[in-house]
Structure 1
Amino acid sequence: MPINHDTSFVDRLPRNVAVQFHDRVEKSSAHEAYRYPQGDAWESITWKQTGERVEALAAGLLSLGLEPEQRVGIASSTRVEWILADLAVMCAAGATTTVYPSTNSEDTAYILGDADCRFVFAEDDTQVAKLVEHRNELPHLEKVITFDGATSDWVISLDDLAALGTAYLAEHPDVIAEKAAAIEPDQLSTLIYTSGTTGRPKGVRLSHRSSVYEGEAIAVQNILDESDLQFLWLPMSHSFGKVLLSAQMACGFATAVDGRVEKIVDNCAEVKPTFMGAAPRIFEKAYGRIQTMQAAEGGAKEKLFHKAFATGLEVERLKREGKSVPALLKIQHGLFDKLVFSKVRARFGGRVRFFISGSAALNRDIAEWFNAAGIVILEGYGMTENFAGAAVNHPEENRIGTVGRALPGSEIKIGDGDEVLIRGPHVMGGYHNLPEETTRTLTSDGWLHTGDKGSLDADGYLTITGRIKELFKTSGGKYIAPPAIEAKFKAICPYASQFMVFGNERNYVIALVTLDPDAMVGWAAENGMEGASYTEVVQSDAVKSMVQGYVDELNNKLNRWETIKKWELLDHDLTIESGELTPSMKVKRSVVEDNYKDKIDALYA
């Protein structure tokens, strides 16, 4: 598709999310909007059906007394009901407050209390129980609407809410259209609490303008259209998931929704999407799984596999450098595409035009490996404070190793200390109830301090080095960027889950390592340890020797002062439930450092 760099669309943005949604329902009435699992099958609803359901739910909220900008919580995993509830809140002029289903009851109560939520959509009895436990701390919470849970005087079902809405619409038939027309662009649409690697989560205030801008900025680039099919598994409580919802309304593509992470690859093979957003961990796991499966086959098949990728990487290098591909290499590449690459693509359904990677850094080697197989990964960059999307690569101008250029109609510059600064319609209004934090983060002329270190090339492509607060200096005075080293290890070791680098003010660098439990089941079966527990497997001398080999390989790729002198293999993987990962799968480095302080200190003993 041709690339459109026009920025005049910013002056013609839909007035608010409700108008953006109603416009899409009108334009694409009979087209598929959502597909979702029901038992072993997938069911589908059109935009018209979606519009009717959202209107009834929005009217139900109005019948309960919801006022403009009042907050409504959603505590649920990613599913179609989450999206319907979110759209209903915004069409009723309220503001969604997101809560990850894995959030503990104390933090759930803190978020809902800090946001002054009047109503909450709760997925099931587990989520409802968190609210019951802290009901005395939530004086503003009047009613809970559950997707699957039991009902009571305080808790009603989604169908109950829709029935209230239907009755309300009979008396006020134009109320939703009137609400949509009255919502100002700067009104609060969403209050997203950052998962926070330290301290209490902060509520990020995002307007209707920031939401519709994100979707329209993607639409104007001609990346996606009504013919596309998205597979959506991302946590909708995260801004990455929310921005894809805005993109859907702006572009009109259908979305298959299922938040079960363990089903991603199987679902892709079944649904056959044309694109998907994901965190780098998903690509790392897929890459590692394919590598280990191939190694297990061994022999001629493994040699063919590696020869295919060597050829694919060479072809892509020549193209990137603007050189012609020799005829013989082109023939070889075509053969390998049929024998090897097509099978890799088939694992994701065979129709993927591109993936969008965000929320953390993607290793360049893994991106190039997928690219060689004909699966383009467009790396993007952003944060909750700018509604997730600040920069993204384009299929026609994808520079691997960068996160692309600023979205049309916004700006990126490099400030003091190489900090990335962002300005545009997508930047937050501020932190909820935290004026001093807001003043520290937003300049008087609208620039957002990201806390990320980066650089811009002559063409405006942004490269991110890492979080400024995560960079450290050894006692020898050398600066280390942990994310770069950690991503390199994951590209080398197909069994890796997490690789965490430490060494601030120390005289050498060390690492804590965890291995992927799924990958280690296969390793154990191939190495005489089938049936052993994960802890037994990773504590074996054979596994430690295997990991040492990959660390040695990593060290050969690093500067002398970056090399890993010592490492420790943890007897379990990090999880969201343990509090060591955020729900978007980022390591909470300070939590890990505190939890394993004794192990880290022992590596310096």
Structure 2
Amino acid sequence: MSERVQVVTRHILAPIAVAGSEVPVYEPGEHFGIFPDYEHKWPYPEVGIMSAQQTPSTLFTSFLEEAAKSFPEVPALAAEKPVPAIVRAGEAPALPWEAWTKWTWKDYYEDARRLAKAFIQLGVEQFGSVTIFGFNAPEWMVSALAAMLCGGKYVGIYSTDTPEQVQYKVDHSNAAVMVVDGEMEFEATAKHVEDMPELRAIVCWGIPAPAQLTRKDGSICKVMTFKDCLELGASQGSDTSLAARKEATRPGHAMGIIYTSGTTGNPKAVMVHHDAAVAITTMASQAETGAMQGYPARILSYLPLSHVAGSMMDMWFPILMAGKKKLHSTIYFARPYDLKDMTLAARIQFVRPTVFLGVPRVYEKIQSRMMGVAAAITGVKKSIATWAKGKGLEYCRNMQAGGSKAKPLFHTIADKLILSKARDALGLDQCKIFIVGAAPISADTLEYFGQLGMMIQNVYGMSESSGLTTLCLPLWNAFGTVGQALPGIEVKCFKTGPNGENVEVPRCQPGAKVVPEDFQGEICFRGRHIMSGYMANPRFGEAHINEIREKNSSTIDKEGWLHSGDKGCMDTNGVFRITGRYKELIIGAGGENIAPVPVEDKIKQLAPALSNVMMVGDNRRFNVALVTLLAEGATGELPGSDDLTGAALEVNPAVKTISAALKDPAWQKYIQDAIDKTNSDTTVCQNNAWKIQKFAIASRDFSVQTGEFTPTMKLKRSVAEEMWKDLIDPLYS
């Protein structure tokens, strides 16, 4: 969840103090395991939130049991079933509340127990796996908890995974049961059932059960409905067997596998252990984070649960809050097509979430649409709106770290008349916590929402750190940074010494526009929230085991530090900023390490009609840029159409399509002007080596479907550069 934009030039208040006794002592050695039955061990600090006294180790599933006792009649999960069709393009109003299908907290727990007993009957072994393939749904979460309850792991499959990727994950995770949603998911699984020897059953929640699958060797893969699976657990399942699985499971055992989406090779299987989920949610629920402001909570689940951010926000955190903090929530599920068909707004407006997590792409799409609406306003209304947003922006800046916290004169009136109506129109008027993560977000987007009274907290972490390590706190929100380490987590910036040792770099000054190289290093962290390790499958052979062991040892060193691969700095107030990614750095002709993201972000800030900017220049004579334009229907998951949308329609009103814009003089000047201004900005382009000399417009937007983005919408640079080679190479001729 990296953030790599320019920090605001303000001093920040005193950091959260951490006493020496709050930091555990790590003995040198291996701090990871590679096999499915590995039990992770960790040192406890003497005092503090992560001490054994304040947060004793426990199974994460215990909190669901407690939540069921505390809130037996409170709706925990709610979904529209069956999923209603779109009324017309862009319109899909929500059903009335009484038409939603609901699970109470008691239902949630009892169905998870029934399903866990069925999973045991179907062949899920202690330390085994259950894969889940489908859009977010109550059945997704119930299946995940059932996998944990029977002593195994849940394994999410991305909706964008190919049948070959599905086959690899099912086989590699040793999944005995696969829980799927619709026909597409079933067919992708059935296509490779011959190559999934451990798969015993497929459970379908969104379609009638197809016929069972018989392999060439005569072995059978059963197929049944979710309802039938629940009935199997209720009628034939054993409470004694379930209790025995619980007894054999320790907090250091893995409860889930998050497959990372790398740009090359097979994905790595991150093992998240029970204590890691308990630790990260406990640390994130402290008063400093502001998390409890949104509870009792309404949460809209729409980001993939197969990704660590979705799992943490929609599943782990609500369960811990209900079970441990006695603050309940209701999770509402978006429709599978909401992001693709841009109907998410209807779900937001119905749910009125009190907590909202979005990846940068989601916030950027909302911003683009709102800017398009604002552009159509003229006359007195426009003047009033501009005045109100100006007051909002002033207050937003005052509320950032080091600001006065003062409300500007007439801000209350501006908020009541204009700004609150914008929040209400979005359905975010009751939201208390706005979170962004998973990829970089520009300060421009953060300020855009901030001026409307929506202060977004940027979070930073990895699947390997259970999704979260640092965040901008409500009273410590500095746009352009990723905030401070959560209480109970150690974070440092290291360079490698002459003997391979970690050498901590000095801290930089708060608000520095340009951070000298000597103050930058690799951001590393350690704590109870760190993964068990990347899992290896013994069936895959010795070479695979050795490969996974090497990947683990290069990620978690002998002192227990997880190496993020992100380049960054920590200021004297303990606030972190990401300045680049070591694997993404462009090496200039003079050997300069050039971080492309700040340059790209600056161009997008100056040219809001652009959707994506990708800087190219590694091992080249100079840097160039490939840009994409705002396109109708482009969601990040899909590339959209040839039709321009939003701010892109304003560059040259006579040009309505990407095809027409490719050689249009007005578009050429628009992009070149933004590049020229960026090249002249020494805060992002330190010298000529950073500057972009030429650019080209791509014929469509980037997307997951077309391969430029990972499922979490991170740019796959090397892949995109190869895909667009025929457009990039001529820029160097």
**Common fold by TM > 0.5:** yes
DSSP 3-state at the match of 1:439: helix
- 1:294 corresponds to which residue? 374
- Conservation of the 8 A alpha-carbon contact between 1:214 and 1:246: no
Q: Indicate whether 1:127 and 2:185 are aligned.
A: yes
- Conservation of the 8 A alpha-carbon contact between 1:294 and 1:301: no
Task: Summarize the Cα distance change of 1:577–1:322 in structure 2 as closer, same or farther, 3 Å threshold.
Answer: closer
Shift of 1:301: 3.4
- 1:254 corresponds to which residue? 330
DSSP 3-state at the match of 1:8: coil
Shift of 1:553: 4.5
Q: Which amino acid is the alignment partner of residue 210 of structure 2?
A: T
DSSP 3-state at the match of 2:80: strand
- 1:420 corresponds to which residue? 523
Aligned-partner Cα distance in 2 for 1:524–1:404: 33
Q: Which amino acid is the alignment partner of residue 111 of structure 1?
A: K
Task: Summarize the Cα distance change of 1:554–1:354 in structure 2 as closer, same or farther, 3 Å threshold.
Answer: farther
- 1:352 corresponds to which residue? 431
Shift of 1:312: 2.3
- 2:485 corresponds to which residue? 406
How many matched pairs? 597
CA displacement, residues 164-214 of structure 1 (integer Å, 9 cap, x when unaligned): 011134xx3455455334420111211111111222211112211112222
Match of 2:64 among 9, 21, 33: 21
Q: Which amino acid is the alignment partner of residue 721 of structure 2?
A: E
Q: Indicate whether 1:217 and 2:283 are aligned.
A: yes
Aligned-partner Cα distance in 2 for 1:496–1:516: 6
Shift of 1:470: 0.7
- Conservation of the 8 A alpha-carbon contact between 1:4 and 1:220: no
Task: State which drifts further: 365-374 or 418-427.
Answer: 365-374
- Conservation of the 8 A alpha-carbon contact between 1:359 and 1:381: yes
DSSP 3-state at the match of 1:518: coil
Aligned-partner Cα distance in 2 for 1:548–1:208: 51
Task: Summarize the Cα distance change of 1:292–1:479 in structure 2 as closer, same or farther, 3 Å threshold.
Answer: farther
Task: Summarize the Cα distance change of 1:449–1:86 in structure 2 as closer, same or farther, 3 Å threshold.
Answer: same
- Conservation of the 8 A alpha-carbon contact between 1:284 and 1:491: no
Task: Summarize the Cα distance change of 1:205–1:510 in structure 2 as closer, same or farther, 3 Å threshold.
Answer: same
Task: Summarize the Cα distance change of 1:65–1:121 in structure 2 as closer, same or farther, 3 Å threshold.
Answer: same
- Conservation of the 8 A alpha-carbon contact between 1:474 and 1:480: yes
Shift of 1:534: 4.7
Please show how residues 159-308 of structure 1 align to structure 2 within 5 Å: 159-169=227-237, 172-173=238-239, 175-221=241-287, 223-224=291-292, 226-244=295-313, 245-252=315-322, 253-258=329-334, 260-261=338-339, 262-308=342-388
User: What are the ranges of 5 or more consecutive residues in structure 2 without an aligned counterpart?
Assistant: 1-15, 19-46, 85-93, 213-221, 323-328, 497-520, 537-547, 634-643
- Conservation of the 8 A alpha-carbon contact between 2:629 and 2:648: no
Higher relative contact order (CA 8 A, sep 6+): 2
Shift of 1:275: 1.2
Q: Which amino acid is the alignment partner of residue 529 of structure 2?
A: H
Task: Summarize the Cα distance change of 1:197–1:344 in structure 2 as closer, same or farther, 3 Å threshold.
Answer: farther
- 2:534 corresponds to which residue? 431
- Conservation of the 8 A alpha-carbon contact between 1:30 and 1:46: yes
CA displacement, residues 364-410 of structure 1 (integer Å, 9 cap, x when unaligned): 22212212211011101011111111112222332222212222222
- 2:712 corresponds to which residue? 584
- Conservation of the 8 A alpha-carbon contact between 2:449 and 2:456: yes
Shift of 1:294: 1.2
DSSP 3-state at the match of 1:230: strand
- 1:155 corresponds to which residue? 223
DSSP 3-state at the match of 2:148: helix
- 1:37 corresponds to which residue? 80
Aligned-partner Cα distance in 1 for 2:376–2:626: 27
CA displacement, residues 253-293 of structure 1 (integer Å, 9 cap, x when unaligned): 22222253233333212210011111111111212221222
- Conservation of the 8 A alpha-carbon contact between 1:34 and 1:45: yes
Task: Summarize the Cα distance change of 1:118–1:477 in structure 2 as closer, same or farther, 3 Å threshold.
Answer: same
- Conservation of the 8 A alpha-carbon contact between 1:191 and 1:204: yes
Q: Which amino acid is the alignment partner of residue 192 of structure 1?
A: I
Shift of 1:350: 0.9
Q: Which amino acid is the alignment partner of residue 339 of structure 1?
A: L
CA displacement, residues 96-153 of structure 1 (integer Å, 9 cap, x when unaligned): 1221011001111112111121111122111111222212111111111112234222
**How large is the Cα RMSD of the aligned pairs?**
2.5
Following TM superposition, where does structure 1 have runs of at least 4 consecutive aligned residues deviating by more than 6 angstroms?
A: 3-6
With normalisation by structure 1, the TM-score equals 0.92
- Conservation of the 8 A alpha-carbon contact between 1:345 and 1:352: no
Task: State which drifts further: 492-501 or 117-126.
Answer: 492-501
Task: State which drifts further: 487-496 or 172-181.
Answer: 172-181
Q: Indicate whether 1:100 and 2:158 are aligned.
A: yes
CA displacement, residues 44-78 of structure 1 (integer Å, 9 cap, x when unaligned): 32211211221211111122132111011111122
Q: Which amino acid is the alignment partner of residue 438 of structure 1?
A: N
Which has the larger helix fraction? 1
Q: Indicate whether 1:71 and 2:129 are aligned.
A: yes
DSSP 3-state at the match of 1:488: helix
Match of 1:338 among 413, 416, 425: 416
CA displacement, residues 213-253 of structure 1 (integer Å, 9 cap, x when unaligned): 22222223352264122222111110111112211111132
User: What are the ranges of 5 or more consecutive residues in structure 1 without an aligned counterpart?
Assistant: none
Q: Indicate whether 1:481 and 2:595 are aligned.
A: yes
Aligned-partner Cα distance in 2 for 1:267–1:491: 29
Q: Which amino acid is the alignment partner of residue 30 of structure 1?
A: E
Match of 1:374 among 453, 463, 472: 453
Aligned-partner Cα distance in 2 for 1:206–1:413: 22
Aligned-partner Cα distance in 2 for 1:315–1:493: 25
- 1:363 corresponds to which residue? 442
- 2:626 corresponds to which residue? 512
Aligned-partner Cα distance in 1 for 2:649–2:707: 30
Shift of 1:452: 0.5
Shift of 1:160: 1.1
